[in-house]
Every structure is written in structure tokens, then in C-alpha cells.
Structure 1
Amino acid sequence: MVRGLAAGQSAKACPARVIFFGTPEFALPTLEALWSLQPKIFLAGVVTGPDKPVGREQKLAPSPVKLWADQHGLPALQPIRLADRAFQAALVALDANLGVIASFGKIIPKGVLGLFPMGVLNVHPSLLPRWRGPSPIQAAIAAGDKETGVTIMLTDEKMDHGSILAQERLALADEETTASVRPLLAKRGASLLKNTLVSWISGEIRPTPQDESAATFSRMLTRASGHIEWNSGVDEIARLVRAYDSWPGTFVFLPDGFRLKILSARAVVGSAAPTAGVGTITEDSLGFPLIRAGDGALLLQRVQPEGKAPMEGDAFLRGHRNLIGQQLR
């Protein structure tokens, strides 16, 4: 018997034969949701990123989705280029008619999208059309949005542009980080996809085009994106620390040129903020470092000096008293 199917049922008999596109851990709840829908659907295989070097020894390691597929006996394709003819031939051989994406990391070309007569559904971690692009969770937190969420959309050849099938909202306060929000959206997205997919297959959903006038775009983050600019508002800087906690992290350069990562911080405004020049380090009443910003100061609660273990901010300042009064850049 083919895995995931009822006795006497063939893969051809399923109304939806699905290929899943995904790579990191965020994708796993959606993949598990698809697996649990069998035998209503047939999960034909996955497409995921190539093995990548990890660790100090740079040994090749498979993606979380590849590992999951291997453990569950699913075919896994790992193309370097989606336009490659050999990859597309292998995809056609899996005989799927519907695609599902969750954090795949590449724009799927029109030629591949056309292989799926029932369309390709994407689980996107924002309330589209707000925050299209590669870093929507970070963008929502950094912008101070009061809510975010997940969108199930139809995929076209443009980035996060397709019509919306379903959305679910998640309220944001002033304490969430990307590390805390990402798993929540991964689970909510998987649950929403599971419900939406059944309705989509049965023809119960009418897609809603996105409002192009309301579209905003998140950017591709690099390591340099986390460099703090002290002329910015202190609330903006504090949000960046929370938004970039997983990647790329926020940091400043000490006077000796070494990098200091800021792991946790909060904004200090009003009379409690020091009057020193922008970027200057002072000390609060409990011995924690305060860095003057454009309209207040950032209290460094937890930091990591370059080449050393993470530590509390007061412990760092006790060992670096010479930094008080100096300017960070």
C-alpha cells in the first residue's frame, strides 16, 4: 500500500496530489499539516534547498525539511536552479497537481508554477499586502506594528503578489521578538493552511486580489543590517534589537574596534536619559550601560563582546569601566 493512503486507494484517485516547497524549521508545521491530511490528499514529495556547510568544520548538512522527508519516506528534490530541466522533469515525474510553499526562500518561476493545474498556495507570515518580501516578521516588529499574522495566498511569478485565500491575525505588544513570534506564526499558518486547502480543493473559496496601493516591502537582511545608528530614535533602536534577535543581531563597535552584540535592551526616555552626546556610554543607577540615542538612551540589559560568552550588561560594564564617557560607533 502507498504510504498515507487508505486500503485500496491509489494516488491517482486523490483530488489533490501535493508537492511541498520549504526549507527551514518554520516550514515543518505546514509539512506536518499536509501529512496529516492524507488520505484526503496525497503528499507526493518535497522540494527543498541543497545541503549546506555548517559548523566550524563546514560539513554538509541537509535542511530540516529534507531530514523530515527522509524520516517519512518522501521523495525530496534539492535543485540548485529551479529552471534546470532535469529538476523540472523530476518534478513532472512525481505527477502532482497542486503545490504548497512555506518559507522556501526562492521565487518560483512561471514555468514551474505552470506544472500545477490547481495552483500553488503559499503560507506567508504577514498580513499581505503589508510586508511582502524576505523578512516580514522582522519588518513588522521593527516598524512597531500592533498586529501581524499569516496569509494563505495563490502564488504567481511576482514576489508575494498573488490573490489572498485566507488570513489570521496575531496581536503584537512591545515585547515580542522574532524568535518568539516566528514559531507562533508557523503553527498558525499550518493550521490555517490545513483548513484552507480542503476548501480550496472543493472549490469553496473565491480568491481576493491584493490591494496594490497598500503594499509594503521588507528587505533582504545582511549582517551589516544590525549595525546600530545612534542618531535614530531610541524606540526605533529598541525595536530593532527585538526584531533582529535571531538574525542578523544588533551590534555596535567599541573604541578598540571590537564588536559588541546587543542581545537585550530597553528604551529610556525623559529625565532618566543622560544628556551626553549621541553614542556616548554612561551608567545607570544599577550599574547598567546607557547609550545616548537621538531622543533618549538605550539601556543594555544583556550583551556579548566579540569572542566571548553572553553576559549581563552590568557585568560587562564592571569589567570595562574605561568605556564610560567614550563614544560607540
Structure 2
Amino acid sequence: MASMASTAGDGGTDFGRTVRRWRDRVSPEAAGLPSGGHRRAPGLRREELAMLAGISVDYVTRLEQGRAEHPSEQVVEALGRALRVSPAEREHLFHSAGLVPPGRGTVPAYIAPSVHRMLDRLTGTPVAVSDASWTLLLTNPLYTALMGERHGRERNGAWRAFLGTGDRVRHTPESRRALEAAVAADLRTAANRYPADRRLRDLVADLRTHSTRFAELWNSGAVGHHEASRKTIDHPQVGTLTLDCDVLTVAGSDLRIMIYTAEPDTQDAQRLELLAVLGPQPLAEEGRSAPPPDRETPTFRTGRARSNH
């Protein structure tokens, strides 16, 4: 079957033209970005769309110009989120890329505009959105500043819990066991609910192969669930913070919204305010390598500029 994203002369692909056209209609304010400075067009700049989608500016340029004709499902999903498309527009975006939109048996990754607007208003609060498999879809700058940048498999909370290279959250043996049981139970629920999701099946298979603890929990049918909790976070710039973590579920989508808050008038609240001013720090400060500049795998975040409050 021929790709639906065939090139039409020098005008790029249908997918590229769609992205370019829809980029023009999204104002910076609607995407949670500052609108200052002279703009030749009212919509998003390529640099802004790239930042919102978590891919490189060069890759956005190549997509729009038709020089990159086969974007991955992840990239299409990320661009759709950044452009705040409706469900019908999301379906069109997948088809124009020559892809079949994820079906009913796959983990939902669509974030409705109303959820985007809610997150835009939480600029002074660390917030992240994950899907039913605990893969990060969106983070705001304050969450990234709090927890650090996460790329590749480190974006998945289940992978981090069992096979990750490190985490700023401090755990006791009891809290670690409870977290692992809850994550394993969540993945079992998701696997039963979304049997056609290949990435979820691969994640479970990898965890069972490489983590003895996960295999034991999976095979035993362990149950558990995430509850509101207090988390102690060892931050390399501002020190130790103890924050309340609440997990909200978006009805009908299985999205999980993680919100971190500090008790008012405490040292934790002061340090969180300081972190909002500092913003995310480069990965190199923690001894990690930054991703290559030509990144074509999205790292998701919201676009709101960091809070100065």
C-alpha cells in the first residue's frame, strides 16, 4: 500500500503542509508561551513547535519541507499534542503521515485541549502527565527542574522503578517495595485493558526478562495501587524537599496527572520557589550526556515559561 504522505512537487508532503498550516493557527498564548517580540506570523515559530513537541528544530524543518517523509507514531503524537489538535484532526494527522491512528486496544496518549489549559494555569506547581503505562507525555518546566530531564526508556516510570539508573526521590525499603508492587499492578491492569498495544507488551516482556523483582511480582499476581504520598527529593541545586504528591486520573482517557505541592510557609515551599527561578539545569551538571541535537525521538513537555513567583 502506498504511503499517504507522498511528495507533491516542491511543496513538501501532505503531512508537512498540514503541520505548517496548523502551526500558523496556534498562537503562543494558546500554547502557554510568552508572546513578546516581533512576529512575522501570528502562529508558533518552528523553534517553539520543536520545543513543545520535544524534537529538534532541524527535524521539524525537514518534516515541513518533505525531506523527512516517514515520522514515527511517537513523533506524530507529540506534534499533535503540541498543536493541540482535536480528535478528528489527530486522526487526519496520522493518516497524512501514512500511519494508522492507534486503535481502541492501545494505550491512549491523546491530551484534550481542556487538560492543556488546566496545566497551563499550574505554572508554579511541578506537574507531569503520564499514560496508563506510566510513560511521560508532558512535563512542565518546574517538574523538569525538580526531577531532571528524562530521555528514552527513563521516561517510563515502570522502567525507572525496576531498571533505572537513578532517581532524585528518596526511598525507604518499605516505600520502594510498595512502589514496585503498585507499578506492577498498574501494568497488569493496563495490559489487560489494552491488549493490542505492542509497546506495552514489549515493556512488560523486557521487565520480566531483566528484573527478577518485577518477574516475581508479575508471576505472583501482586496487587497494589498508587495513593497520595509525601516524597522526599534530593535536589542537586536547592537541597532536600519534602512534597505532597497527588495522582489524578483524567476520566475516559486513563491519563495520570502527577502534582507536587509544598506546605505553605515552610522551607520546602521556599526551595520550590527558588527552583522555579532557577529552572531546569543542563544534564551535564549531573554527569550525564545531553541528547544529540538532531533528536527525532520526542521528549515531551508543556510550553509555559518558567514561573518567577
Taking structure 1 as the reference length, the TM-score comes to 0.29
Q: Larger C-alpha radius of gyration, 1 or 2? A: 1
Which of the pair is proportionally richer in helix? 2
